[in-house]
Amino acid sequence: MTKAMNGAESLVRTLVAGDVTVSFTNPGTSEMHFVAALDRVDGMRCVLCLHETVTTGASDGYWRMLNKPASTLLHLGPGLANSLANLHNLKRARSGVVNIVGEHATYHRQYDAPLTSDIEGIAGTMSNWVKTSISAKDVAADGAEAVSVAMQAPGQIATLILPADTAWTEGAGPAKVAAPAAPAKVAEDAVEAAAKAIEAGGGSALIVLGTWAVRAKPMEHASKIAAKTGAKFRAEGSNGRVERGAGRVAIERIPYPVDVALAATKGVTHLILVGAKAPVAFFAYPNKPSLLYPPEAEVVTLAEPSEDAEDALARLADRLGASQETPLLNAPGRPDLIRGDLSHEAIAAVVGHLLPENAIVTDESVTTGRNFFRDTHGAPPHDWLSLTGGAIGEGLPLAVGAAVACPDRKVIALQADGSGMYSLQALWTMARERLDVTVCIWANRTYAILKGELANVGAENPGRKAHDMLSLGDPNLDWVKLAGGMGVEATRVDTAEGFADAFAAANKRKGPFLIEVLN
Amino acid sequence: MTKAMNGAESLVRTLVAGDVTVSFTNPGTSEMHFVAALDRVDGMRCVLCLHETVTTGASDGYWRMLNKPASTLLHLGPGLANSLANLHNLKRARSGVVNIVGEHATYHRQYDAPLTSDIEGIAGTMSNWVKTSISAKDVAADGAEAVSVAMQAPGQIATLILPADTAWTEGAGPAKVAAPAAPAKVAEDAVEAAAKAIEAGGGSALIVLGTWAVRAKPMEHASKIAAKTGAKFRAEGSNGRVERGAGRVAIERIPYPVDVALAATKGVTHLILVGAKAPVAFFAYPNKPSLLYPPEAEVVTLAEPSEDAEDALARLADRLGASQETPLLNAPGRPDLIRGDLSHEAIAAVVGHLLPENAIVTDESVTTGRNFFRDTHGAPPHDWLSLTGGAIGEGLPLAVGAAVACPDRKVIALQADGSGMYSLQALWTMARERLDVTVCIWANRTYAILKGELANVGAENPGRKAHDMLSLGDPNLDWVKLAGGMGVEATRVDTAEGFADAFAAANKRKGPFLIEVLN
């Protein structure tokens, strides 16, 4: 016989039994019974975040490393709204999450109390599944469904809205979460079509890899296919998680600048998509195309993002007679340090020279980071997590989530200053949870990318007012103080050798440390 | 003949001609032509905010002081999403704003580039009016309509979505904004019904004032009516802007705690609403009612929030023969300072003793501020701006907007620490714009209100995990460093006399200063 418990406790026990064991939370009054249940039930780690944008960004980092959902805990519509931008990035990373959003008691909503809003409407803009529990007896079953949905390949956003009275009223006890299905294998037709495209295209065929296809093993199959057929392969422009480094396949991404991307795909006649979308420009620009490949190219999908990319590429390699080829793997090797000014070259050399073994890199470097891939191909094996949806402010929260997911690995957060300011509250969570993160802030004190974009869109001779809208100076941000204000030790460097020393020292410590890199 | 100009410039010139002269901005690539146009056109002050939650909170503060809209400038769906929580507060303050949201070029949207999202869907959850411009020729007319909508009484949220190509393509030149209509006068029937309710209720009638009814003049009419009839009057629980202080009517609000509110409305037989809603509990609690007044009370609406409350109350006073009564105005008077510990009493005494003449107070004090009204009734005349929608994190942005609106007045931001962390980026804008704001942070290092709420909902014996989810300690936030990191001078005080000295000194300066008040 099930022991009596309220809806909140039924839900928490359902989540824990369903292997959802971390909750990135910012609760309010309407979630107090859920908080009390989290307190009573063992097995759920609660990580307090001081703004909801941290909760969803961290959930994304957690999923990318473990391929399973964390839960968030959000306070009504505004709390959910605060989480949306990183939910957008999470969606574009094709990650999954279970959002728990508190709501007024069912009978209270009719009175339009001050915090009332259209929670389902807000959730619907960024969720794959939205449900409002209608009674305490339903909460556990709804929660089990949410976990199942979140686990659907490649990962889904499930948002469960929990009216306060469904939390505090007697519930039905925990519900069982269905075991997640393995990602589907692709049809033989898809393998055949991809093979024909590669045979027809030869050196003019381009395989675009995304989602699970940018892990070590599937990339080896891609490399074998390239060795056999002359086809090229690249990763999507932004990727949830690329397995990289020495002993792994060297992969380049579709470049961000339109002209550079078009040069990279010039002459492509066949595009083969593996867990990826056909490349499009991040933004439109006057007199430049949207598609980043020749429009006459034939586009063939080998695997959808939800499908088993490794199996598909292995079968494609087989079909093309490439299975016995030797994949081209990175030899170990690191760039030399460069002394003096903190140029983008010198910064990349430090990162490449000193990247710790088995690191997890979260990369929201924007303009400063354009050389990082080049300088880390031969570094010890590591994972590279990028900003996938272009909503700035995910880097630091991603680092929180990755560090919670993988406590035995060093997380390196490479972070531009302007985007870092969007979610600096994540630093406090790093301190609270003693997360093992080295944060490097690229302090160029400007939205540098926008200065280039102002020129790109053809806006000529910007004046003082435009300059001020793109500058983070006057006053300069002081990241050492900002970090200190949230309990994270920090230092500032203004030479390449200073950065190298600070980066090496930070990586030897356990726990969070921030380096403000003036560049 | 209109000089050739693109859509962006047509829109900026339309806004400026329509008296929208401040833009709280955080632009991105898709807004670069708009930025360039802002740069070229005189008459628009551009205020950069380092997170979009500051843009809408500041727009709210600006509206509350000037009763006219600012514009925001937001980067696609995620930028808009980041602004939603304070848009919720703005809506609940019944303020107006013109949001300009950049979007991908019309022809680019089909490709689902990484930053693509359902902008209209996101906007719709918190806007009164949403429109996506379909061509450069429409942009100016759409902008003119947006301004007109924003100005509709009592204030509306107009969100104009601007595809990049409608900004950069040749436009139709500026469009004319229709002059806003004055707020409607209430019908004579409404005056009569309110009069009858007050005559029937006598001392058991309660007039609830909101929106424009809590300005000095309408409250004098309410006071005269009370003097004549014995009816009571109160302000709504939270108010966009109350005119208060010596020589003005003393008004109390509907209390926040349910039991206290019910005690205050016990025995009420007639409720007369003037620009206000009938009082409801902020949250539901087990075994407590939602309505904060006797359910059998007769509810009569004298004026909707959109209607002319001052005229309505003047006519009601006439009808009741109260016009010649003497309103009860606060005598000048300030509390004595209390020495020693920074109790809530001592803090309130400092605020009351030293509040500068003609100050604008933005109040997101949460638990620390419960005595502030009592101790400032006799302070020099001032405006009091509260958190209206319960979405925490509006206090500092509100102060930005009020200071931009009224550069000759001192702004006093009374700010709880937990909610202050939601939008601390506003401090940088205060420094950048040299805004004349004294920020007081109530550093109790906890979500103090939630500790009470955990008890209120009947959750018993919270343990370590619940405690950790409601505590801002471990590590403690250091607001002096946080402020310094954003270019705002700051100090920390831990005694009442220390706070009094720091508060007096800060109020003598020009420009932003932050006081961390350990309590």
Give pLDDT tens digits for B229-247: 999 999 999 999 999 999 9
Question: Which helix (DSSP H) or strand (DSSP E) does residue A197 occupy?
Answer: helix A188-201
pLDDT by 10s per residue, chain A, length 519 = 345 799 999 999 999 999 999 999 999 988 899 999 999 999 999 999 999 999 999 999 999 999 999 999 999 999 999 999 999 999 999 999 999 999 999 999 999 999 999 999 999 999 999 999 999 999 999 999 999 999 999 999 999 999 999 999 999 999 999 999 999 999 999 999 999 999 999 999 999 999 999 999 999 999 999 999 999 999 999 999 999 999 999 999 999 999 999 999 999 999 999 999 999 999 999 999 999 999 999 999 999 999 999 999 999 999 999 999 999 999 999 999 999 999 999 999 999 999 999 999 999 998 888 889 999 999 999 999 999 999 999 999 999 999 999 999 999 999 999 999 999 999 999 999 999 999 999 999 888 888 888 877 766 677 888 888 889 889 999 999 999 999 999 999 999 999 999 999 999 999 999 999 998
Residues of B in contact with A114 (CB under 8 A): 92, 237-238, 282, 388-390
Residue of A nearest to B288 (CA): A108
Query: What is the rounded distance in angstroms from the CA atom of residue B418 to the CA atom of residue B192?
Result: 47
pLDDT of residue A4: 79
Query: What is the rounded distance in angstroms from the CA atom of residue B497 to the CA atom of residue A47?
Result: 37
Query: What is the rounded distance in angstroms from the CA atom of residue B352 to the CA atom of residue B453?
Result: 28
CA distance A257 to chain B (A): 13
pTM for the whole structure: 0.97
Is the Cα torsion angle B11, B14, B18, B20 positive or negative in sign? positive
User: Taking CB atoms and an 8 Å limit, are A46 and B465 in contact across chains?
Assistant: yes
Query: What is the rounded distance in angstroms from the CA atom of residue B447 to the CA atom of residue B469?
Result: 9
Query: What is the rounded distance in angstroms from the CA atom of residue B376 to the CA atom of residue B402?
Result: 20
Is the Cα torsion angle A315, A320, A324, A328 positive or negative in sign? negative
User: Taking CB atoms and an 8 Å limit, are B282 and A118 in contact across chains?
Assistant: no
Between strands B382-386 and B242-244, the pairing is antiparallel
Residues of A in contact with B273 (CB under 8 A): none
Number of Cβ within 10 Å of residue B176's Cβ equals: 11
Residues of A in contact with B114 (CB under 8 A): 92, 237-238, 282, 388-390
Say yes or no to pLDDT of B36 above 50.
yes
Q: Report residue A340 as tokens.
A: 């003096």
Q: Which residues contact A192 (CB under 8 A, 6 or more apart)?
A: A319
pLDDT-derived band at B3 (thresholds 50, 70, 90) equals low
Cis peptide before B305 (omega within 30 of 0): no
CA distance A392 to chain B (A): 9
Among the partner-chain residues A48, A79, A282, the one whose CB lies closest to the CB of B115 is A282
- Tell me which DSSP letter residue A408 carries: T
Query: What is the rounded distance in angstroms from the CA atom of residue A308 to the CA atom of residue A27?
Result: 37
Among the partner-chain residues B111, B281, B432, the one whose CB lies closest to the CB of A475 is B432
Supply φ then ψ for residue B161, to 5 degrees: -100, 130
ipTM exceeding cut-off 0.85 for this assembly: yes
Residue of A nearest to B43 (CA): A465
Say yes or no to pLDDT of B366 above 90.
no
CA distance A487 to chain B (A): 6
Which residue shows structure tokens 């501020």? B369
Adjacent-strand bridge partners of B300? B272
Residues of B in contact with A107 (CB under 8 A): 284, 290
CA distance B264 to chain A (A): 19
